[in-house]
Structures are given as structure tokens and as C-alpha cells.
Homo-oligomer: A and B are copies of this chain.
Amino acid sequence: MKSWIESANTAEGHFPVLNLPFGVFSRVGEAPRCATAIGDFVLDLAALEDAGLIDAGAGRAVFGEPALNSFMGLGTPAWDSVRSRLTELLAEDGAPDLRSDAALCARALIPAGDVALHLPFSVSEYTDFYAGRQHAQNVGTMFRGPENALPPNWLHIPIGYNGRASTVVVSGTAIRRPLGQTKPAESDAPIFGPCRRLDIELEMGAVVGLPNPFGEPVTVAEADDMIFGYVLLNDWSARDIQAWEYQPLGPFQAKVFATSISPWVVTKAALEPFRVSTPAREKPLLPYLREPGPMLYDVELEVRMQPEEAAAASTISRTNYKHMYYSAAQQLAHHAIGGCRMNNGDLLGSGTISGPEKDQFGSLLELTWGGKEPLTLETGETRTFIEDGDTMTLMGWAQGDDHRIGFGECAGTILPAPTERNW
């Protein structure tokens, strides 16, 4: 399907009329409000709502808010009806209401380069999972040897842990290298200082729109209905801090300093043609975790690394979300199985997405095999872990016949650690 907005009709653009992701933007001096992306433009949904061209059915305006949460809380009928209406307004042979109103177009269609994109929703809580089979195998092999790589529960439980919502930031936010406690092998006692093994984790994030009541589990199908859409997610990780702290209660300071997400939430509806089943089960799952249908998505993913002075980024990994052993719907059903209340605005990280080949791994820990095999970038520079000034960018899209359903990018540049104080 083509749009009357020409830049939306390219083969490799991320935002054709078949995508219509949701986000939050502002121009300098303006209040943030909701938008969709179409070609090279941001379309101001608050302006369309004010003009009476769209209505989410909430009985009040929702797109003038600085976050998608209200809209996300309306559920599938509202999500679908707004999507249908936007498709109608933007398709080549659709309704003339927007395209024929030059004043509204001038007001509502804003070149993407002229806006700042904000965190698209207020993150209620963030939970990170560990659902990549190859990643678990890789990390387990490095830490425990190949025979004991996979923990005994891994094929039965979508292993997850609670993350930190307050440091989820939007793509483009600079990330300060964390200070922390580590214990070098050669040292008897731990030492304090900047992280020296700073890493990324390439993940997808599922965004929860609808809650479940306290004390009431949900099925996998119900969990899927609760999910509003997906983003790219970089679970920044301090490997040296993690190694010293993570036993027995899991990662904490190694992860809480920052998590970046892409600014556009791509809806389930846009991803619908790309649904795939999770890989064949190596052990049967308990019934509460079984998928009633395909719940994973075929999404191409790339990781790019760019040193401060480099003219261009080097692509250091190419993989696909379809490699994951558990879907977000399975993870969400597991999250709620004991009665945990899930809320509008909850964010679920998929876990690191590593494909089976070495150039498909989703972290530097795996790509450089614990720092032992440095990567050579296109500039000739080498890297084991991230250095100050490096920019790490995740890219993702579902590949259609002649178009892409894109997530845009999820980028972050590393700043030096804070100056140490007189503690």
C-alpha cells in the first residue's frame, strides 16, 4: 500500500503507511505530544485530534499528553480503530480529509529532522528476560563450561528478573560510564572505579498496554492481547561489576544505570504479517506457557559501533528476533502466573538476541568471547568492550516484499564516568 506522502514509499524506509508506529515528539519550546511516523515526517496526532480527524474513543483527548499511556490503556478496539483511520488518511487512495487541508498539513506534518523524540511512554516497571537460546549457551559456556552452560530450569521457565524503570531512556540519551565495585582476579579485595567492561545487550522490548488484576494469572493468549507493541531495547551492561555482584541474587548495579529504547512503538497490528512460531521445544512446556499460535516475530536486527572520531559506523552483528526461545506473550504470562499485577506502561526486555553464528551475537561479551577476540572496525580500530565516546546503535525492521516495517534506531553515546568524589 502506497501513501500520498512520497517519502513513505521507499523500499528501505522504516515508516511506510503499513507501519504507523506511535511516539512522542516536540519542537523547541513546545510541549511534548503524541505522533506517528510517516516517511520522513512526524505526524502530530494531537493536531489531528483537535481538528476532529481522529478519535481514540476515550471520551476525551488523549494525544495531547506527553506519553502514550492513556492511549495504550484503551485496548485493541481503540488501537485498531485509530490505526484504520490513520491508514485511511495517509493512503494514496484514502480519504482526502488531511491531504486536502493544506493548513492542517502544514501544521501537523513536520519534517522528522525538526523534532526531538521523547520516551514514548511513562515506564511503570521494567522486567528483563533471558530468552535467547544461543546467548544463554554462550554466556553459560564462558562462565561454567559447555557441559553446564544451560541452567536446568532454562528450557522450562522464561527466566527473568526485575529491572530498573527509572533509568529507561530514549534513544539519543548519552550514557555515563558507571562507577562501581569490581574484583579483578589478581586482587584479594574488591576495588572501586569506572566500569572497564562496558557492553550492550541487543533486545526487543514488549510494551504492556492493559493490566491484569492483582492475584489473577493470565493465559498466553490473554497476555498477547495486553501487549500494545514493541521497541528496540539496549540493556547496557557493566560486565566486570556483574561478575562480582551477581551471585546469589542476580544482576543489579551492572544493569540499573541505563536501558535505552527506540522512540517509536511499533504496534502488534503492523507486525502481524511477520508473526512466527518460537523454535521447536527441546523439552515440553507446562500448559500455562504453551503458545496458542505464533507469538514471535521475524524482525531483522543489526548492531552498529562508531568510535568518536570515526566517519561512519561499523555493523558488528546481524541477527533476528525469531531466534528467541520464548515470546513476549509467554514471558508476560509467566510474569503474572503467581498473581503479579502487570500495569499499563510495563516494559519487558526479551533477553539478548544472539543468532547461531558468531557474527550474529547480540553483545560484545559474546562477539569478542569475553574480550579475548577483539573486533576490528571499519576504521581499523579494534574493540573488546565500549570506550568513552563510542556510539552504539541498534537497528531493526521486519522485511516485507517491497517495504520495511521499521523500528528506527536505538542509539547511545558513552560519556566518561563521573569524577570520583571525596567519599
Give the interface segment out of A46-54, A154-162, A308-316, A392-400.
A154-162
Partner of A238, one of B244, B338, B421: B338
Does B250 lie within 8 Å of A423, measured CB to CB? no
Q: Which of A341-399 contact B (CB under 8 A)?
A: 341-343, 346
Residue A337 CB within 8 A of the other chain: yes
Give the distance in Å from the alpha carbon of A401 to the alpha carbon of B126 in the complex. 46
Q: How many residues of A contact B (CB 8 A)?
A: 70
Does B253 lie within 8 Å of A334, measured CB to CB? yes
Partner of A157, one of B238, B245, B343: B245
Residues in B whose Cβ lies below 8 Å from that of A250: 161, 246, 248-251
Residue A408 CB within 8 A of the other chain: no
Contact with B along A191-230 (1 / 0, CB 8 A): 1100100000000000000000011110110000000000
Does B166 lie within 8 Å of A163, measured CB to CB? no
Q: Given contacts A156-B189, A156-B190, A190-B156, is CB(A162)–CB(B339) below 8 Å?
A: no
Does B166 lie within 8 Å of A341, measured CB to CB? yes
Partner of A339, one of B192, B258, B287: B258
Does A252 lie within 8 Å of B161, measured CB to CB? yes
The 9 closest A-B pairs by CB, nearest first: A250-B250, A178-B338, A162-B162, A257-B338, A176-B215, A287-B423, A288-B423, A249-B250, A161-B249
Q: List 21 A-B contacts (CB under 8 A).
A: A130-B249, A156-B181, A156-B183, A157-B245, A159-B248, A161-B250, A164-B340, A166-B341, A167-B214, A167-B340, A169-B214, A179-B338, A179-B339, A217-B421, A238-B338, A248-B250, A253-B338, A257-B340, A286-B423, A287-B423, A339-B418
